[in-house]
Amino acid sequence: MRQFYETTQTLKDALIADEFVNTVTLGDTNDVDLAKQSIYPLAHIIPSDVTIENATMVMSFQIVLMDIVSDSPTDLRDVEDTFHGQDDLQDVWNTQLQVANRLVSRLRRGDLFSDLVQTDVGSCAPFKDEYENALAGWVLTFDITVPNKDMCITTNPVSLPAPSGLTATVIGSDIALTWVDNSTTEDGFYVYRSTNPLTGYSLIDTVVADTTTATDTSATTDTFYFYRVKAYNSERTSEFSNIATQYISSGACDDATATFGGSELAQIASGGTQAITVLDQNGNDLADYTSVSAANTLTVNVYNTANPIKTGQTTSYATGDDGDLEEGRLTNFTTLDFNNPFGNTNRFTDELGTLVFANGIVIDWSSWNQNTGEVLGYTKALVGSTQNWANALTAAVAHSAGSFSSGWRLGNVNEWLPVMNYGVGSNCFNYEVGGSQLFSPANTFWTSTTYPGSTSNAMYVRTISWRIDSISKGSVASVRAVRTFTLTELGL
């Protein structure tokens, strides 16, 4: 062990290199000839307590930094200066405090810190006339942390690996244990058991070297047991293996009830299983969209389909045309292929789920986003008179219907395309729902979409020619408004 020698030598070298230190001594101050003036300025090192830890040692030191106080100050100050006095006491205090500060700085973040001789903080206390020769200076007190080299370099020359892969299996009324032997120098294995995985383990068996099995014949029913194993020899024991757990039931289990959404699905007999198939309302198996958690909770993830909807055209004019294939979602243009939240297959309803449309609100359930709970709604009637595009934007925002006085806006082209019915004549909006025409007639009406080919034009719907075209924003056309509704707003 050389930590003390190395540490005190490091302190001596650091101090003697300072311009305001002439001599460095070690030990008790009684061992220093304080009357000898040639030794000053003097740094005297006094060792104190040492704390020994696993990887480090914390050494406490005091260093007395002192110099002779001269009656002739270094500057020719006025003898009447009562603050500075007629000696160089303040000069001594100042220079010796610099010595303390530089040493602590090197220990905290300088070259000495990098050499693993480190301190966190140092404190200084001044003194005056405490020794011979009218001495003054500071007593620096600090702790130094250095590596505990004896601890660091001492290692266990022969390790004893822990067993691994411990398992526990019920065999009749016993619990059989097996593990993997990872050591070659063990004398045997200790087997421990507890009813708490964290504490309370007691030794229940000892087996000889190279054994990898043991049997717990004292386990009782209806109790969870936790096991772990360690290797041992004459010099040491290994760390514990992993924990294995097992339970012996006293008899048959109770019947179980499977529930989903608060409703009973099935009774599962003791020791039996029950297959549960989750289908959507069209009879499609949702196995790819369901999962069972560790808590035996069945989760169904519902996602909207991304397929386009049908155009409404049912008359075929050639093999393979739209009327022939009728591709797209929905049963037909006005009938869903699933139930809306009101429990029916009507694509279009009012905000109450009926076909009355008393407030002039048309909800299109083909736009229902089942993840966000949002759905698109339209005004059944036109909003105001014909007007230019800028005024149409304002008029749509100002619209109010029923209890919905805000959130209305001018719809974009993609919001109007899905409700254009290509299966009716004379006008793509000339179709009925619930025995009456769904939308009030209008030859043209604005969308909120600007024509990118000429930004002075906007897109508008030409209902009599089943198309969306562009026209100058200064032209006039009718106004219809749209709004995004939430299921909460609709009371669902």
Question: What kind of fold does domain 322-486 have according to CATH?
Answer: Mannose-Binding Protein A; Chain A (3.10.100)
Q: Using pLDDT thresholds of 50, 70 and 90, give the confidence band for residue 470.
A: very high
- 73-123 pLDDT per residue, tens: 545 444 555 666 667 888 888 999 999 898 888 777 666 555 556 666 778
Other beta carbons less than 10 A from residue 283's beta carbon: 6
Task: Give me the pLDDT at residue 403, please.
Answer: 94
**Cα(122)–Cα(11) distance, rounded to whole angstroms?**
14
Long-range contacts of 452-460 (CB under 8 A, 24+ apart): 458/389, 459/413
Q: Which residue has the higher pLDDT, 464 or 342?
A: 342
What is the mean predicted confidence (pLDDT) over 222-234? Answer: 93
Matching CATH topology for 3-152 and 322-486? no
Other beta carbons less than 10 A from residue 296's beta carbon: 8
Task: Give me the pLDDT at residue 133, please.
Answer: 67
Task: Give me the pLDDT at residue 282, please.
Answer: 63
- 36-82 pLDDT per residue, tens: 766 889 899 999 888 887 777 888 888 999 888 887 654 544 455 56
Other beta carbons less than 10 A from residue 416's beta carbon: 24
Range in 30-44, 293-307, 313-327, 465-479 the model is least confident about: 293-307
What is the mean predicted confidence (pLDDT) over 438-452? Answer: 91
Task: Give me the pLDDT at residue 76, please.
Answer: 47
* CA-closest candidate to residue 209, choices 189, 229, 225: 189
Task: Give me the pLDDT at residue 154, please.
Answer: 45
Give the number of C-alpha atoms closer than 13 A to the C-alpha of residue 420, restricted to the C-beta side.
21
Domain boundaries, the chain: 3-152, 164-247, 261-300, 322-486
**Cα(188)–Cα(209) distance, rounded to whole angstroms?**
4
Q: Using pLDDT thresholds of 50, 70 and 90, give the confidence band for residue 305.
A: low
Region of 114 on the Ramachandran plot (φ > 0 left; ψ -120 to 50 alpha; else beta): alpha
Angle, helices 3-16 vs 89-109, to 10°: value is 130
Q: Which residue has the higher pLDDT, 280 or 320?
A: 320
First to last CA, the chain: 80
- One of 3.50.50.60, 3.40.50.1380, 3.40.50.300, 3.30.2000.30 is the CATH number of 3-152, namely 3.30.2000.30
pLDDT at 394 over 70: yes
pLDDT at 152 over 80: no
164-247 under CATH 2.60.40.10, yes or no: yes
pLDDT at 478 over 80: yes
- 307-331 pLDDT per residue, tens: 788 888 889 989 988 889 888 888 8
Range in 29-43, 222-236, 353-367 the model is least confident about: 29-43
